[in-house]
Amino acid sequence: MKIPEILIVETIHQPGSLASVLLVIAEAGLAIEHLTALRRDQGRTVWEITLEMDEEADRSLYDRIDQLPNARFVGKSDRVFNRHRGGKIKTVASLPINTLQVLRDIYTPGVARVCLAIKADPRAAHEFTNLDNTVAIVTNGTAILGLGNIGPLAGLPVMEGKAALFADLVGLSGVPILLSETHPDRVVDIVAAMELSFGAIQLEDIAAPECFEIERRLRERVAKPVLHDDQHGTAVVALAALLNAARQAGRSLKDSVIGQIGLGAAGTGIVRLLRAYGVAHVLGADRSPDAIARVVALGAEGASLQEIMARADIVIATTGVKGLIKPEWVRPGQVILALSNPDPEIEPLVARERGAAFAADGKGINNVLAFPGLFKGALSARVSHFSDAMLMAAADAIAKLAGSDELVPDPLDKTVHERVTEAVHAAAIGGIPGSDPQ
């Protein structure tokens, strides 16, 4: 597994000093993810260099840098941990509480009037509380990132990250909910018991196959938007990328043969949305016969890994297995999305070198492009569920905002999230036919 390694290196401020450090890194076969100058004084510059290194990679790189005549390895940075220190989110008041009158209005005795108004008409909660801006981010920690079943507490940094993105990108309040329960019956009961606190529910990093049953039953039980992001958020962004890849390749997406390798939560969600979009021929491969049976029930065809590589025009992989796709299997003109994080099934550069028309990994095809606008649009429309029409509207909006040579746009461009929100809202209130994403 690749992890970020953040080096602190001091160089003499003269031509070639930094270049000699970068050459040592290149000779080690490593790519630089980020480079910044932290400070410069007395003829020396201190650099922060972010690399992605396998956990088992040779760390003698540090000694080789230290042996350079014009550089010194200072140590490693704790930048990632520093940005997590104390957590990434907090709850703040939406108005200043600076007089006794304000205190009495927002708390006792004034708040009693609002409570009684909501008791008389529960719809008033939408106007006089933060309900329409609040999302529960629920996990039981059984499928955290590419790390697997590491438990809910270890998954809390991911849930806080989701909440931070909700707040920054679309102004929603995301509340992490950690469950020490894995049985679907009890997970559904727990979430249903607390659903009144939230306007919508985002299920996150819950393992397959339990995630399918949990989402389905919650949709049946609560009258508010419920979405398992690993399934549907990933599917939306994958569809957006494929719309652009097919357009740039001069190919009809609906008439293409698409192969999905890995039929867990993300893979099954992608197959389901592609079929709903109208793709006629989808192949699915997985080690689990039950997983293949699920996508066959959706109208896909079961296949092996090598059959997909031999037959598919477009290949999508969500297996979590680094290097699964052998370079020699890539056929000229194929589109390959190797979406597993942190390590893809095949590096995009390798796939392109073998003739792929387009190739991308999970760093670019990331569900952060979808879930903020999906939830903001659903909450603003006050709908009781997500529909396929809403998912496809989000995918179409994302695809249209990409540059001419891009598959998807910049996920930090807030205009993208505004447009996705608008598209989802319009699809939600427009009565566009579409089945529920089950």
Catalytic-role residue among 162, 224, 277, 376: 162
Banded model confidence at residue 369, pLDDT cuts 50, 70, 90: very high
Q: Which domain holds residue 186?
A: 130-224
Average pLDDT over residues 258-285: 97
- Domain boundary residue, one of 186, 204, 224: 224
Share of the chain above pLDDT 90, in %: 82
Average pLDDT over residues 271-292: 97
Based on the fold, state whether residues 352 and 436 are members of the same structural domain: yes
Nearest Cα to 7, choosing from 58, 61, 43, 55? 61
Based on the fold, state whether residues 401 and 334 are members of the same structural domain: yes
pLDDT score at 436: 64
Range in 180-194, 238-252, 415-429 with the lowest mean pLDDT: 238-252
Q: How far apart are CA 140 and CA 150, in angstroms?
A: 9
Based on the fold, state whether residues 272 and 402 are members of the same structural domain: yes
Based on the fold, state whether residues 141 and 64 are members of the same structural domain: no
Based on the fold, state whether residues 169 and 204 are members of the same structural domain: yes
Q: How far apart are CA 128 and CA 375, in angstroms?
A: 20
Based on the fold, state whether residues 301 and 431 are members of the same structural domain: yes
Give the CATH number, domain containing residue 308: 3.40.50.720
Decide if 107 is catalytic: yes
Based on the fold, state whether residues 245 and 174 are members of the same structural domain: no
Radius of gyration of the chain (CA): 24
- Region of residue 153 (left: phi > 0; alpha: psi -120 to 50; beta: else): alpha
Q: Give domain status of residue 53, yes or no.
A: yes
Q: How far apart are CA 8 and CA 174, in angstroms?
A: 34
Give the CATH number, domain containing residue 189: 3.40.50.10380
Based on the fold, state whether residues 381 and 250 are members of the same structural domain: yes
Cα(first)–Cα(last) distance of the chain, in Å? 32
Q: How far apart are CA 201 and CA 229, in angstroms?
A: 10
Beta strands per DSSP E along 265-332: 281-285, 301-302, 314-317
Tell me the pLDDT tens digit for each residue of 294-323: 999 999 999 999 999 999 999 999 998 999
Does pLDDT of 136 surpass 90? yes
Based on the fold, state whether residues 30 and 171 are members of the same structural domain: no
State the amino acid at position 404 in one-letter form: S
- Domain boundary residue, one of 23, 50, 84: 84
Decide if 62 is catalytic: no
Average pLDDT over residues 422-434: 81
Nearest Cα to 157, choosing from 88, 77, 90, 91? 88
- Coil/strand/helix, residue 296: helix
Tell me the pLDDT tens digit for each residue of 323-358: 999 999 999 999 999 998 878 999 999 999 999 998
Q: Give domain status of residue 125, yes or no.
A: no
Domain total in the chain: 3
Q: Give domain status of residue 405, yes or no.
A: yes
Q: Give domain status of residue 104, yes or no.
A: no
Q: Give domain status of residue 92, yes or no.
A: no
Q: How far apart are CA 434 and CA 437, in angstroms?
A: 9
Catalytic-role residue among 76, 107, 119, 414: 107
Based on the fold, state whether residues 162 and 270 are members of the same structural domain: no
User: What would you measure as the largest C-alpha separation in the chain, in angstroms?
Assistant: 78
As a whole number, the mean pLDDT across the chain is: 93
- Domain boundary residue, one of 224, 239, 272: 224
Give the CATH number, domain containing residue 71: 3.30.70.260
pLDDT score at 253: 95
- Sheet containing 335-338: which strands, arranged edge to edge? 301-302, 281-285, 257-261, 314-317, 335-338, 358-361
pLDDT score at 234: 93
Q: Give domain status of residue 102, yes or no.
A: no
Based on the fold, state whether residues 336 and 198 are members of the same structural domain: no
Strand 257-261 to 134-139 pairing: unpaired
Based on the fold, state whether residues 256 and 299 are members of the same structural domain: yes
Q: Give domain status of residue 90, yes or no.
A: no
